[in-house]
Chain A
């Protein structure tokens, strides 16, 4: 299985080369944007104008005291850090969504069919595909969170609690949405493969892609429905998010939605493997 994961990972990495470069550019771009936020981002400050010595690392607590940032509540005081992180997170999510889709040419190249002719079945191949996409997504979001947390910490514009809140919130949405969307991509890709071989009309293609969009809307509706429910099975985690004079919201992290989302992801993955088995056998 380890051999299969590495093989599929390498094949997928070469197939999605352009999108990997795009993700790398997004990370580098966000790092550049956060850096160019000016002197407030740089945690390294000189003692005074005439000082020719090296830069001094100012502790976040000192900077926070200097700028009068309250540590009493969970705080996301840095608008640029939060905005850049949210924007890059969203664009990365869109790029990651497109990664599982394979074109007709890529299907005809038959990378996965060749693997399946060996000792591996399609359940293993589809799981390996999922793991390779998930590892790419984890790498991307880990780099994004690392970069934004580092600059938020160095700048001192956001308290340590605020940074933890941002990390918790993004990690929750990552776990709740990314595995589901990757599985959904693999599922649509498997359906496409079935219709590549036997043919499908233009109307079907149109309705299929409209339905993909409708699926995302329905997921958001389910999320809202689950979060707004009065009776809950698991305890929720309330996070207070505040960007001074701009935005204030208490996010309720619901573990029921997480459970539904991860179970649906597993079911879609199983279903796509079954489709591939029926199509290729």
Chain B
């Protein structure tokens, strides 16, 4: 449970950085989809 929470918190931080890191909307969406792979694997 602790590991899952840490992973999810790291993912949330990465999503925040991803959203403000570039001006390209497709790159933002791509990065969020990429990060969602980690989130899905952490949740299942």
A14, B14: Cα distance in complex, Å: 34
For B21, list chain A residues within 8 Å (CB): 195, 198-201, 204
For B24, list chain A residues within 8 Å (CB): 194, 275, 278-279
- Nearest to A274 among chain B residues (CB) is B26
For A233, list chain B residues within 8 Å (CB): none
- Nearest to B44 among chain A residues (CB) is A221
A215, B26: Cα distance in complex, Å: 18
Q: Number of residues in B with C-beta < 8 Å to the partner?
A: 22
Q: Number of residues in A with C-beta < 8 Å to the partner?
A: 29
For B23, list chain A residues within 8 Å (CB): 198, 278
> Which of chain B's residues 3-38 have a Cβ closer than 8 Å to chain A?
10-11, 13-14, 17-18, 21-27, 30-31, 34-38
Smallest CB–CB gap between B10 and chain A, Å?
6
Q: Given A275-B26, A278-B26: A191 and B10 within 8 A (CB)?
A: no
Q: Check if B41 is an interface residue, CB within 8 A of chain A.
A: yes
Contact between B27 and A195, CB atoms less than 8 A apart: yes
Q: Check if B40 is an interface residue, CB within 8 A of chain A.
A: yes
Q: Check if A218 is an interface residue, CB within 8 A of chain B.
A: yes
Smallest CB–CB gap between A212 and chain B, Å?
7
Q: Given A191-B34, A212-B34, A217-B41: A197 and B22 within 8 A (CB)?
A: yes
Q: Check if A211 is an interface residue, CB within 8 A of chain B.
A: yes
A206, B14: Cα distance in complex, Å: 9
Contact between A211 and B17, CB atoms less than 8 A apart: no
Contact between A208 and B34, CB atoms less than 8 A apart: yes
Contact between B40 and A208, CB atoms less than 8 A apart: no
Majority secondary structure of chain B interface residues (helix, strand, loop or mixed)? helix
A214, B41: Cα distance in complex, Å: 7
Smallest CB–CB gap between A233 and chain B, Å?
25
Q: Given A194-B22, A275-B24: A207 and B30 within 8 A (CB)?
A: no
Contact between B30 and A271, CB atoms less than 8 A apart: yes
Smallest CB–CB gap between A223 and chain B, Å?
15
A271, B23: Cα distance in complex, Å: 16
Contact between A211 and B22, CB atoms less than 8 A apart: no
A106, B28: Cα distance in complex, Å: 22
Contact of B30 among A190, A201, A204, A210 (CB under 8 A): A190
- Nearest to B28 among chain A residues (CB) is A194
For A272, list chain B residues within 8 Å (CB): 30
For A208, list chain B residues within 8 Å (CB): 14, 31, 34-35
- Nearest to A199 among chain B residues (CB) is B21
Q: Given A194-B27, A200-B21: A207 and B40 within 8 A (CB)?
A: no
Contact of A211 among B26, B27, B35 (CB under 8 A): B35
- Nearest to A216 among chain B residues (CB) is B37
For B36, list chain A residues within 8 Å (CB): 211
Can you add 4 more A-B contacts, CB < 8 Å, to A198-B23, A200-B17, A218-B40? A197-B22, A206-B14, A208-B35, A279-B24
The 8 closest A-B pairs by CB, nearest first: A194-B27, A207-B14, A278-B24, A214-B37, A204-B17, A194-B22, A198-B22, A200-B21
